Structure formats: C-alpha cells, structure tokens
Structure 1
Amino acid sequence: MCSKTLFSLFFALLFLGKTAAQNTISIIPKPVEMQVSKGYFRLEKNVTISLQNSALQETAQLLRLGIQQIRPSSVSIKNSTPNAIKGISLAIDSNRVVQKEGYSLAISATGIKLIGHDAAGVFYGTQTLLQLIHQQGNLPFVQIKDYPRFGYRGMHLDVGRRIFSVTFLKKYLDLLALYKFNTFHWHLTEDQGWRIEIKRYPKLQSVAAYRNETIIGHKKDSPHRFDGKPYGGFYTQEEVKEIVAFAQKRHITVIPEIEMPGHARAALAAYPQLGCTGGSYQTATFWGVFDDVFCAGNDSTFTFLQNVLDEILPLFPSKYIHIGGDECPKVRWKSCPKCQKRMQENHLKDEHELQSYFIQKMEKYLNAKGKNLIGWDEILEGGLSPKATVMSWQGEAGGIAAAQQHHDVVMCPESHYYLDYYQSLQASEPIATAGFTPLEKVYRYEPIPAILNPTEQTYIKGIQGNAWSEYLVSEAQAEYMLFPRALAIAETAWSPKTQKNYDDFLQRLRLQEKVLKHRKVHYFDRYEEIQARFQTNSNGSESIYLTSSLPNATIRFTEDGSQPNTQSNVWKDGLSIFKPTLIKAQLFDKNGAYGQVWEQWVNVNLATGKSITFKNAPQTPYLPTDAYALSNGIIGTHRYNTGQWIGFRGEDLEIVVDLGKSQSVQEIGISILKYHWQRMWEPTELSFWISEDGKAYEKVGSFKDFPENAINTVSLKVPNKTARFIKVIGVNKGTIPAGEYGAGAKAWLTVDELFIY
C-alpha cells in the first residue's frame, strides 16, 4: 500500500474516532464550540480540586458534592495556582473568557482545567463537567468554549394551586442549575391559595393559605365535582430564605410573584375589605378566572400590598418583583363607586386605564425601593409602565409591542412554553391543562420575532418555561410534565441559534436519560412516539405518513382494528385510505414493542377532499395550514391546537361544500368544540342546507342543544334527497356572558370535520 493511501487511512480512522467519541458525549445545552481529541482522562477515586481564589470555594464544594453523588470518591479542595496539580483546577480570567457567564473547559492527559469569565461561568463549566461524569467512566479529551445566548434563562413553577415541598424545590433548582438556567420564577399567590408568610397579616396564613376542597378531574367537566378535603399550606419566611440561599449558590435568581390586581380571591377571603363588594369571599376551590379582584379605588388596597412587599423585598435579592397583572376582569370595577371615583379624579377613560394606573402606582413604589417591576403582557393594557419588563405569554404580540416601545421582554408564549399542556396525543395521558405541546414543538420555537428590527431585537432578554399546577397532582407528575421539555428550553436559552438541530438534540437527550434516572427524575420517556402527517387528495382519499425518531425502529400496522404485532405489515411509505378505516400502528425496536399503540379513525366520506368556501375567514390560532382541515376525514381531539380545529371569533360559521356533481345525500354532520373555560362556545343554532345549483337552498334541519362540555358531534339524516352543494351555518354566541370566563369578550365558534354520506 502506498504511503499516500496509508496517510489517508490514518486520518480517516482518526476522524471516525473523533466522531465516535463526539457521538458518545451528551451536553445539554449544546456548547458553542467543542473539539474532541483521541484519548481519555481517568478521574481517580481520590480527586483534588484546586482553586485560584477563595471566591470559588462555594462552587468547588458543590462540585465535590456532585462528584460524590455520582461515584464514590474522596474529593479534597485546596487553594493553589492553576495547573499546580493533576486533577481539577478552577480559575477566573475575564481576559481569556470574555463573555459574561462564559467558560472554557479542557480535559487532557494533564487534568481538567476550567476557566470562567466570572464565578457564574466557572459554575456553569462545573455543570458541564458533572454531565460528562454522569455518562462516562473515563472522560474524553475535549476542549469546550461556551457562553449563553440570552442573559435571562428562566423556569417557572406555580405553587398557588398545588404546594410543593422545600425538598422538591431544591431538587428542581439543582436540575435547573445542571442545565444552566439562571432564573426561577416562583408563583406564590393565587385565587386558590396564598403561599408565603406575611407576619403583618396573619390571616394570610390562617385563611388565605387554605381552601375547603379541590375540584376533581378537569375544570371542563360538568358538573364540577369536589373531593371535600381541606387543602393548603405556606412557606415560612425562614423556608423562603433557605430556598433563595440554595438557589444563589447555584447562580439562580429567584423572582417572587405576588398577583395583583386579579387572582386575589385567597387574599380577599382573609381581608374582604380589600375587594369592591366587601365580601364575603372564599379561597377558590376550582380553577379559573374570577370577577372578584383587589379594589382599585380603595386606598387600603395599596397600603396592604405595599406592606406585603415590605416583607417580600428583604427576602429576595432579585432586581425584579413580579406583580402578575394578568386576567383581571373589570366587572367589579365597573360597578364600584370607589373605582369609578378614582377614574374620574385621575381622568381615566376606562377600566383598562384604571388597571394601568394600578400597575404604575405599584411600580413607583417598587422603583423607590430599588426594584424593577415585571408582569404578564396584560400590563400593556391602558399604557405600559415606564420601566416595566413584559413577560409575553398570550403569544408574541405583547412581546413585539413591548420591544417596539423599547421595553425589556421575556418570551414565554403559551403556544410553545406552557409545560402543563399535553406532550402526547395518547388518550391514556394523565389529565393536563389543554392542548398538545410536544418536545419537538418546544425545541423548534425561535424566541426573537422576525418582525423586529435589529435594535428592537436587543430588548428580547430571554425566555422562560411555565408550569401551572392545576393538574400537577404530585411532585412526580410535576417532573413528568417538566422534563425533558425543560431541556429543550434550556438549549434555546443558551446555545447559538445556528447550533440548534433537533435530531442532534435527540441523540444527546437519549444519553441524558442516564443523568435523569440517576437523579431519580420521573420524566416523560416516550418523546419518540409515532408521529403522523396527513395529506388529502383530490380523488377523495386520505394519505397518512407515519414516522418516528427512534433509531433502528420499525413501524408495524393493521387496517382492521386489530393490535399490531411482530407479524403485522411493516410501514414503508404513505398509505392511502379510500373508505372509513381504523389504522393502528406500533413501534418495535430490538427490545420489542416501544411505547403505546398509535391509532387513528380515518372517516373518508363524500366531503373528503372537496372544495369548501368560507363566508368568514377562520382566525388565528384556529386557522389551519391545511386547506382541507375541515374535510380530511381526521376529526380533531380535545387537544385542540393540533391544526385540525377551525375557529371563528365573534363571527358566524357559514361554509359551502361543492360535491362536484348532484348525488344522493343521506346524512350530514359536523363537530363542535364546547369549552367555555377556553372561550369556545357552542352556536346558538346550527343548521344544514342543501342545493342543486348553489343558489336556491333548502333547510333540512338544525340543532340548538350541545350538551357535552367537550366535543359535540351532531349529524342529521337526510332521506331521499339529492344535492351538489351542502351549506352549514352556525350562529356565533357573540359576546361571552357575565360570570363566564372571558366575560365581555368575543366568543369562539370552533368546528371540525364536516362529513357527508
């Protein structure tokens, strides 16, 4: 063999060696730069951590604890100059690592050398090192240069609906630190419970911290059922100090949220004079938004909240204090003499400006105490406070508006970053809040809206994942909903946009499962379930395409409703369906069946693939990208954000389908989504019409009763009729009535899957 060939073979093998080594390294979030070399460093049972200065003593102690929790080791810490020993050396050098919170990590035959721009950078480098130690017997030779994309990298947890133990919160903070989050948003007060001790107001502990009972099942269920068991608790100020100190050691800032002016039922139960009606009030026992809020015309309201903040501020070093500001109905303010007087005296044109007055008054108080206000995007209503930071949860519109006004923004849209939403379409999933937010959707979200110019983009300071606890019935269930989706948010928050790749992330996530198992995290492990894509064809058939990211897996399926097994047909490409069919599919890997059976009823009918004309255009977020969403044979589920449901906000449904030719029509039907808790209302009347020429229509029937607080599928028998055109008219509820969620707003009329036989 010639020398040139040997030379080429050597470098090919070297490259393959590096690639293989790199493929066994899982770091989340993905580092900015990483180079893997041939060779491994053996971390001995007797490990020495050397420090450049005592400022890193706390980080070294945590690193020692982390190593000992992973493997039996004797770890000593001593002050010495860098490179003095073969072991782990920690140092700060802002000249060598110029980015804030950045670090460089080098593992070689001479040891492990970690240099940070600052103490935070060194800490994040130790978390990368701990991830490697979790996974590797011997540590690969590697050079890493790393720093974050965003300065604000947050996760949230609501303890108002469900309270979690101090032990669990510490476990949660440890996991956030491992994946380089630097902010914990602690949602401490709600309609259903006040969770922090305020010594000046003892009834917040004895009354507001408890509710008489808790709703069973989902809030959409009717009638509501309750468990009859008192529920509650609160964190003492000493426990709060303990949590904050624990977080600080891990370079996590804790931001407390004290809700105002809405979500105040628990506080009003304790101090009814703070409400517009004076009571009586009770701590809420079910989930929702309530008309009873803090009275904006009562001076004692502001005195109370300022006194509360006077006890809150010393507990939290954070520059931010979160005041909520979301979901504040104006019903009580409109009929409250004190609130109306306040509006007149301050020349406020409506109750939205009164909310702005309320928020700005509290902001001035916080600013005088050296703190900045942060709130949900409703604080934009009536005019944004001068220095306020906006958390954009209702979508991107609030964040865009705030950035364009040169206000700092944290992006946390409900559509992508609410981790209390379902992460699987399987019917067996435990009850969750609402729609479908799978891991891939979380990962692919880009938090800087393209509509912003370069200057405006600088006001997007970071991102946050939110976890509301209505259905987090246990700490294990909280972990199940949070992980691994929190890891997808961590990568977006830290890693460069150009580095993100979902397939690569999955490869690293599979290796991270070892870390999560070692830390006893009850995580969702079926993130590689079968995924389906549907295509409607002009010939009236429906094509299905099934995929999975699970490596070396096979999909087997049946078309007769039977359970797939190892003898069932192998799924290859798309499958076209020409008649009503129940498809079932199962993933198989080397260990056998993986995950649960996927199934889909495909209701191919006369409407499938036919042209539909809309009098009123559907509206976002219920404006599907599939032009045949209403006639593809795939009915939407109660996880209503999958792109199947079509919605009309305040407008009527009026559609016409052209069957192409006159033919016998025996049955017409459609599904209505009735979820008042999501502003989705049934039509006041739903009627069906037929026509031969598309001009003269005959009404063949109508419905006014939709009893289910869920999906109502209605159908009408049409005997001995022929038609080419079918019209469906649904009369929108219009304005949501008083006392209902979203009262005064326009109702959604949400429909899916017209079927005709």
Structure 2
Amino acid sequence: MNVLKQLMGMILIILMVSCQDSKQSKVFTEADIAIIPKPVELTLEQGSFQFNDKTQFVISEASQKEVVTVVSDKFQTAAGWTLGVVEQAPNTNFVQFITDENLEDEAYHMNVNSDRVQISASGNAGFLYGLETLRQLLPIHIESSKLVSDIVWEIPNLTINDHPRYRYRGLMLDVSRHFFEIDYLKKTIDRLAFLKMNVLHLHLVDDQGWRIEIKKYPKLTEVGAWRVDQEDKHWDGREETTAGQKGTYGGFYTQEELKDLVAYAATRSVEVIPEIEMPAHVTSAIAAYPELSCHERPVGVPSGGVWPITDIYCAGKENTFEFLENVLLEVMDIFPSKYIHVGGDEATKTNWEKCPDCQKRMKTEGLENVEELQSYFIKRMERFINSKGKRLIGWDEILEGGIAPEATVMSWRGTKGGVEAAEQGHDVIMTPGSHAYFDHYQGPQNEEPLAWGGYTPLSKVYTFDPVVETMNETEANHVLGGQANLWSEQIKTTDHSEYMIFPRLAALSETLWSTKESRDWDDFSHRIETLFKRFDMMGINYAKSSYLVMEDIQIDMDTKEVSVELKNEYTDADIRYTLNDEELNTNATKYTEPIKITETTEIHASVFKDNQPIGKPFNTTIEFHKAVGKPVTFKVKYDDRYQGEGEFGLVNTLRATKNYQDGHWQAWLGKDMEAVIDLGESMAIHEVGVGTLENQGPSIYFPTSVTVSVSDDGKNFKEVGTIERAFAKNPSSDLKTFNIEFEEQSARYVKVVATVLKSVPKGGHAWLFVDEIIIN
C-alpha cells in the first residue's frame, strides 16, 4: 500500500510539472492588442506563439544580430534567458527574418503562428520595426529591469502588413540651452525606435552654448560651451554677461562621442541630423571668435534669453564663410546624415544694415535689402553643402528674400511656410508650434512644471497632419513628414525632458506612421493606457497630464451663482467629484452637468478608471467672501491689455492661473495698484487677501508690499495691516495670496495698496498682476 501511495504521488508531481511546462495559452481578442503606432493592416487569428528558453532567432546577415538585441536583451533581463541566434531555421520555436526585396524600405510583414514567427522586410529598418511591434505584443513585463516570474511570454497568432505613411518622423532635442549627456541621447534613440520614429535632430549650436568639438577652432568649446551659471533665475530674467566672465555651466560632445552616438543610432535605424545655426543664434561662437561678427567686439556667452538677436555672423566678410565651411567639413565627417540643418531663423539684421562689409557685399552681388543678403548667405552655404553630397534644411525664415534651390524647409511658424515652399517645389518637414512644440504645456499650468508657454495637450498632438488640406497632390508629395521640437530653455533635467516628450511623442508617431483613415482618438485612448504601463516598466518619467480634470468657472453677478464645468481630454471620461470634506473615493458623485455653487465650497474631482481615481486629483475652492460683487474704484486703472472680467474682475470669486493670459488677471505696468472696495454697509472684517502672480521672465513680479486700510466714510482711512516682501530671484512661475490679518473691526470701505517692484534686475518696468481681493 505504501509503495502504491508513493507511485501515485510521483505521478501527481509529474502531472503538475507537466502542466506548469505547458502553461495554458491565452485567448486573445482585438482589445488585447495595443500597438502604437497602429499597424496599417492586422488580422488576428486563433492561437498563440509562446517564447521559452529554447526559442531561437534566425538571421541571414551578420548585421541583423544587432537588430535582434532589441528583443533578446529584454528576455535576458526579464526572463533570464539567453536566446540563440542562428542562420538555419529549426523545425519549430523560432523568430525568422526573411529578406523580401519587393517590400519598401521600413515596411515589414509579420506572420505569427503557433510554432514560428516570420518577419519579412527589405532591410534592417523593416526587421527592427517588426521586432518593435513584436515587443508591444508581448506582456508589458518584457520591459522589466529585473527578473520576473510566472509570466507566459506569448503573442497572438496574427498577420500584419505595415509601412510608414511618411518617411521623415523626427524629434529635435535642444542641447544648447541646457546640456544633456550622451547616455540620455542613446536612451532617447531607443525610445524613438520603439515608436518607429527615425530621426534625432540635435540642436547643437545656439546663443547660450556651442556643444560640438571642432578641432580647427578649439575656442568654440573652450569658451563657447560654457556660460555664467544663473540657473537660479528665470530664463528671461538673467543678467547680461560680458566677455571675460568665467563660465561654469555647460559642456560639449567630443567628436568621438558623437561618432559613437551616430553608430549606435544606426543600429536603431535612426538618422542623427546636426544643426549648426547660421547666421543668427550664434553668440556662443562670436564670444569665442569676435571677428566673425560685424562689430568684432568681445561678448560673453549669454546665460539666458536674448532678444532681439543682433550678434550674428557678418555676411560681408569672406572669413565668415571660410570659418563655416571648415566647421561643416568636420561636422560632415562625424554625421553621415543626408541632411545638414543650418537654422536660419530669427536673425535681426540691424548690424548688417550699417556694416561696411555687408553693404559692400550687397552692392557687389546686386542685393536690394538685408533679407536678400540672408538669402545670399543661405544659398552660398547650400552650394557648399551640396558640393559635399549633402542637402540643406532650414527653418521657414530661409524663404525670405528667396529660397536656396535645393533646400528643404522645416516649417515652424505654423504651416504657411511649408505650404509656400511646397508650392515652389521644395521638400517640406512640418513642425508647427501649434501641434509639434513639446516645450508647450500639456495640462493646466497650475499643475505642470514650468514650460515655455502655449497649450499642446496629447489630444491636440493626435490631430496633427503634415499635409494641409489646401495642398494639391504634387504639393503634398513634397511633404516628407513631421517632427516634434523640444526647446530646452526651461528644461534643465533629463526627467523634465522625458516628461515633456512622453506620451506626446506616441501620439505624434501614430500621426506620422499610420494611415489617416485609421486615426481614432477613442481607440488611441484605449491603447495609450497599455503604453503607460510599458512606460512605467521602462522607467520613463512620462506626463500623466491627460488624466487631469480641468474646470471652466463662470459667475452670474446678478444671482451670485457660480457654475463649475468639469472636463477632461478623454471622450466620456468618468469624472467624479465630492464637495468640502467628503472623501474622493468610489462613492463620489458622477459628474454629468455643471455644479452650481452659492456659498464657499471646496470641490475635489478625478477621472476614475476601474472604479478607482487615477492621476492627480483636481482641487479648487470657490470662496464667497464679503467683497463679492461689490463696487471697486481704482486710483490708476489696470492696463488695457489685462482687464480680467472688467468692473467686478477682482471681486467675482474667479481665481486665475499661472497662465497670465488666461483672461482672469488685471495688471498694472510700473504702477502701484490702489483699489477701494465699497462693501455697501459697515460690517465686521478681520482679514484681507490679495491674489498675485510672479513670472519673472515676462517681468511679472510679486508686490514688494501690500497695505490694507479701512474707513467708514470713504475719505478718512486707517491703516490696519501691511506686509513687506523684498525681491527674490525666482526661476519658476508661482501664485501667492498675500493675507493680512488684523483685529476685527467694522468698516464699509477697504483700501488695498499693492506696491509694484520699482527696480527690475534686467531693466525696464515690472508688471503687477492681481486676480482677486478677498475680504472676510
């Protein structure tokens, strides 16, 4: 009997082990497939393919080994498997690359059945994109940075035919305004490939830093790569630097580092395009070599914003062109890219207008104005670039005065420049500020880190289309694609950079890869949730701004009733809210219509998913204080440019945001605010608050003092409290309510004086912004 029990136990153990080795396959549905960008054609079939430690990759060329690592390295980390790479296909359990010369470059065909995965492509780019799709079909734990267990590594049986809509799908990183190390650039390249993007455009030169080693001109990095550290100040609130001041902030890439980066990018089918600015945005070069300017005066490398940009290369001197040609020869030796970007934007040509060398050049070349001189400049550089087998890209300003014959236009000031260039037969890359500038805010400014300005949420990026409806077929064929730009004036860290890029780059990738007909925001909204989980696993600091609840608040001044509308980017988002001390949980009230408020009320809200709040909760307080709807008179009226809601703008319960152009602010330029509120009758009061904004970039400063006085007759006032606040450097944008408490007393009239900053560090007048005067 004991022998029989032992035998039965052994059989049971064998059965259990057998069951574990052949884990039950998942039954996949279309809802399980969340590939971004969306494939052109996908047919789901029954069954699945399971990876195990015996799965092999079958390649036909040695260069494909590097492509395989996109997935094989993931299995090494997450599953602990070292998967084989062979040249002869086994009978089963393999992923095979099949070369098909009939497929277009970057296109791929994938067939998955239960015993094999076959990816067909004409070259490594197609094989790479096939593997990136396979990666997104695998469980999200494939992105884990540590070993995970109890995962069935399977993908559904399916057939995919896929290819890009546009051939140029790029991201520009500004490494001049703030410097980022090579390791971060490599991470960015990996993530571009993950989303089937194929261009990294490096903005290597600008006023605030020269970031590329040029051996013939060592001062470019000895001097031009470093600036005085003023990172504690707002970008546009920094003091002017002079020649000779020691720069300690900055950095540059050696030629060897950049060659290694280019080689790495090639393994991910990413082309790295260098941008060497000209004729403007070059103060860092002029600081190193003053003779390149018209005036030849020594200058310092700016620590922050420069406007207008007048220190530009002299277009009249031959040594300017000799310098630039020598620089570009070294640049072209590093970057094998088809294109060289020369900038060409925002050149203020006042020095050209009075420079004898520039005037002589204009006369010699028969040029009528400085715009034509810039055209001459760009055309001349294009001839040189073309002679080396390259093509020139410039921002849309290169259209001014006549465009260089073979130049490609990158249209950033909307799409107008791109349309104009296409009409003239030039290739175009669309990168309009409205949809593709990732230095813009992607959520409510109060909830977001400091950005340049503007509002470009995820849903808006998803509406981007490089081809403008007015284009005919010929013009549309000149549109190569699109690009996102991340200017880094406000971007100091890699975490902040990631936050601004992701998830918006995913939306852009789909607009540039997938068919226009397949574009569907609701469908994308579902798939992006899975991508968020992958981003979590990948350690990407992506923005969750699309989950934020936003409000639109209105007040009826006759009834004193406030109406609060809640909204979110996602269609039919499940928004729930609570009032005052109620906990924001599953039992919160579902938002269906504007909330009506007639007394001081706290509102808490969130988007809910699976019955749980997600993202950062929304909180606001509508405060009905004693001054609401009461008459306000000013000693000096607010500026016409910032009138808020007019007569009752400071006593209507509506609080403004960090966006100083949101329409809720009243502002004074270089003048104090002195306001008298008539409460209508004498009443007991003990506190006055003044809501203000500081954003030192556009010269908006907190008041240096706030004083409150009270009166019964509106003529004789008694001071009851004051707050003094000295100026302090502030690199961010902040809201602050100055609260003055005093012993309770009766009064009908309340006078509030907020004193504007009189001495602005960078010169000029200060703005004083006020959104509400609160009396209790």
Q: TM-score, normalised by structure 1?
A: 0.76
Which residue in the other structure is 2:254 paired with? 236
Which residue in the other structure is 1:268 paired with? 286
Determine which of 514, 520, 526 is the counterpart of 2:533: 514
CA RMSD of aligned residues (A): 4.4
Question: Measured at CA, do residues 119 and 600 of structure 1 come closer, stay the same or move farther in structure 2, by a change above 3 Å?
Answer: same
Give 1:640 deviation, angstroms. 6.1
2:198 paired with 1:178: no
2:313 paired with 1:294: yes
Determine which of 552, 577, 582 is the counterpart of 1:556: 577
Counterpart-to-counterpart distance in 1, 2:692 and 2:432: 26
Q: Is the partner of 1:341 in helix, strand or coil?
A: helix
Determine which of 182, 193, 206 is the counterpart of 1:190: 206
Q: Is the partner of 2:510 in helix, strand or coil?
A: helix
Aligned length: 651
Paired residues of 1:439 and 1:527 also in contact (CA < 8 A): yes
2:432 paired with 1:413: yes
Give 1:449 deviation, angstroms. 1.3
Give 1:84 deviation, angstroms. 5.1
Counterpart-to-counterpart distance in 1, 2:552 and 2:176: 39
Q: Is the partner of 2:547 in helix, strand or coil?
A: coil
- Aligned partner letter, 1:238: E
2:124 paired with 1:116: no
**TM-superposition CA deviations, 1:662-716 (whole Å, max 9, x none):** xx9xxxxxx9999997799xxxxxxxxxxxxxxxxxxxxxxxxxx9999999xxx
- Aligned partner letter, 2:100: D
- Aligned partner letter, 1:370: G
Paired residues of 1:217 and 1:225 also in contact (CA < 8 A): no
Which residue in the other structure is 2:46 paired with? 38
2:91 paired with 1:71: no
2:66 paired with 1:58: yes
Counterpart-to-counterpart distance in 1, 2:535 and 2:347: 39
Which residue in the other structure is 2:715 paired with? none
Question: Measured at CA, do residues 31 and 536 of structure 1 come closer, stay the same or move farther in structure 2, by a change above 3 Å?
Answer: farther
Counterpart-to-counterpart distance in 2, 1:385 and 1:493: 27
Question: Measured at CA, do residues 213 and 122 of structure 1 come closer, stay the same or move farther in structure 2, by a change above 3 Å?
Answer: same
Which residue in the other structure is 2:332 paired with? 313
Which residue in the other structure is 1:205 paired with? 221
Which residue in the other structure is 1:598 paired with? 618
2:322 paired with 1:303: yes
Question: Measured at CA, do residues 585 and 305 of structure 1 come closer, stay the same or move farther in structure 2, by a change above 3 Å?
Answer: same
Stretches of structure 2 that go unaligned for 5 or more consecutive residues are 1-24, 141-151, 631-640, 643-648, 667-679, 681-690, 701-726, 737-747, 749-761
Counterpart-to-counterpart distance in 1, 2:241 and 2:139: 45
- Aligned partner letter, 2:351: R
Counterpart-to-counterpart distance in 2, 1:678 and 1:501: 39
2:405 paired with 1:386: yes
Question: Measured at CA, do residues 134 and 19 of structure 1 come closer, stay the same or move farther in structure 2, by a change above 3 Å?
Answer: closer
Which residue in the other structure is 1:649 paired with? none
Structure of greater Rg:
2
Counterpart-to-counterpart distance in 1, 2:573 and 2:470: 41
**TM-superposition CA deviations, 1:611-634 (whole Å, max 9, x none):** xxxxxxx9xxx9xxxxxx999996
Question: Measured at CA, do residues 326 and 359 of structure 1 come closer, stay the same or move farther in structure 2, by a change above 3 Å?
Answer: same
Deviates most, 349-358 or 514-523? 514-523
Counterpart-to-counterpart distance in 2, 1:103 and 1:270: 49
Which residue in the other structure is 2:171 paired with? 155
Give 1:467 deviation, angstroms. 0.8
Within a 5 Å distance, the mapping from 1:688-727 to structure 2 comes to none
Paired residues of 2:207 and 2:281 also in contact (CA < 8 A): yes
Give 1:391 deviation, angstroms. 0.8
2:88 paired with 1:80: yes
Counterpart-to-counterpart distance in 1, 2:653 and 2:321: 56
Within a 5 Å distance, the mapping from 1:98-117 to structure 2 comes to 99-117=104-122
Paired residues of 1:216 and 1:224 also in contact (CA < 8 A): no
Question: Measured at CA, do residues 89 and 536 of structure 1 come closer, stay the same or move farther in structure 2, by a change above 3 Å?
Answer: farther
Counterpart-to-counterpart distance in 2, 1:228 and 1:416: 39
- Aligned partner letter, 1:594: I
Paired residues of 1:217 and 1:431 also in contact (CA < 8 A): no
Within a 5 Å distance, the mapping from 1:8-19 to structure 2 comes to none
Q: Is the partner of 2:235 in helix, strand or coil?
A: coil
Within a 5 Å distance, the mapping from 1:569-580 to structure 2 comes to 570-575=589-594, 577=596
2:373 paired with 1:365: no
2:151 paired with 1:133: no
Paired residues of 1:579 and 1:603 also in contact (CA < 8 A): no
Counterpart-to-counterpart distance in 1, 2:553 and 2:226: 48
- Aligned partner letter, 1:100: D
Deviates most, 36-45 or 314-323? 36-45
Which residue in the other structure is 2:264 paired with? 246
Question: Measured at CA, do residues 148 and 534 of structure 1 come closer, stay the same or move farther in structure 2, by a change above 3 Å?
Answer: farther
Give 1:645 deviation, angstroms. 9.9
Give 1:309 deviation, angstroms. 0.4
Task: Give identity over the alignment, percent.
Answer: 37
Give 1:106 deviation, angstroms. 1.6
Question: Measured at CA, do residues 229 and 356 of structure 1 come closer, stay the same or move farther in structure 2, by a change above 3 Å?
Answer: closer
2:510 paired with 1:491: yes
Question: Measured at CA, do residues 307 and 223 of structure 1 come closer, stay the same or move farther in structure 2, by a change above 3 Å?
Answer: closer
Q: Is the partner of 1:386 in helix, strand or coil?
A: coil
Determine which of 230, 250, 274 is the counterpart of 1:214: 230
Counterpart-to-counterpart distance in 2, 1:522 and 1:435: 21
Q: Is the partner of 1:545 in helix, strand or coil?
A: strand
Give 1:526 deviation, angstroms. 3.9
Counterpart-to-counterpart distance in 1, 2:68 and 2:473: 40
Give 1:272 deviation, angstroms. 0.5
Counterpart-to-counterpart distance in 2, 1:577 and 1:78: 69
Question: Measured at CA, do residues 643 and 249 of structure 1 come closer, stay the same or move farther in structure 2, by a change above 3 Å?
Answer: farther
Give 1:754 deviation, angstroms. 13
2:109 paired with 1:93: no
Within a 5 Å distance, the mapping from 1:504-543 to structure 2 comes to 504-532=523-551, 543=563
Give 1:405 deviation, angstroms. 1.4
Give 1:64 deviation, angstroms. 2.6
Deviates most, 538-547 or 191-200? 538-547
Give 1:345 deviation, angstroms. 2.0
Which residue in the other structure is 2:500 paired with? 481
Q: TM-score, normalised by structure 2?
A: 0.74
Paired residues of 2:584 and 2:604 also in contact (CA < 8 A): no
- Aligned partner letter, 1:131: Q
Question: Measured at CA, do residues 752 and 298 of structure 1 come closer, stay the same or move farther in structure 2, by a change above 3 Å?
Answer: farther
Which residue in the other structure is 2:12 paired with? none
Q: Is the partner of 2:57 in helix, strand or coil?
A: strand
Counterpart-to-counterpart distance in 2, 1:60 and 1:337: 60
Paired residues of 1:92 and 1:119 also in contact (CA < 8 A): no
Counterpart-to-counterpart distance in 2, 1:164 and 1:123: 26
- Aligned partner letter, 1:22: E
Stretches of structure 1 that go unaligned for 5 or more consecutive residues are 1-16, 608-617, 623-628, 647-663, 665-670, 681-706, 714-719, 721-738, 742-748
Counterpart-to-counterpart distance in 2, 1:433 and 1:77: 48
Which residue in the other structure is 1:660 paired with? none
Determine which of 362, 366, 370 is the counterpart of 1:347: 366
Paired residues of 2:100 and 2:120 also in contact (CA < 8 A): yes
Give 1:428 deviation, angstroms. 4.3
Question: Measured at CA, do residues 478 and 357 of structure 1 come closer, stay the same or move farther in structure 2, by a change above 3 Å?
Answer: same
**TM-superposition CA deviations, 1:221-265 (whole Å, max 9, x none):** 588999997112111111110000000111111100001100111
Counterpart-to-counterpart distance in 1, 2:583 and 2:379: 61
Give 1:515 deviation, angstroms. 2.2
Question: Measured at CA, do residues 530 and 269 of structure 1 come closer, stay the same or move farther in structure 2, by a change above 3 Å?
Answer: same
Give 1:147 deviation, angstroms. 0.7
Which residue in the other structure is 2:34 paired with? 26
Within a 5 Å distance, the mapping from 1:274-285 to structure 2 comes to 274-285=292-303
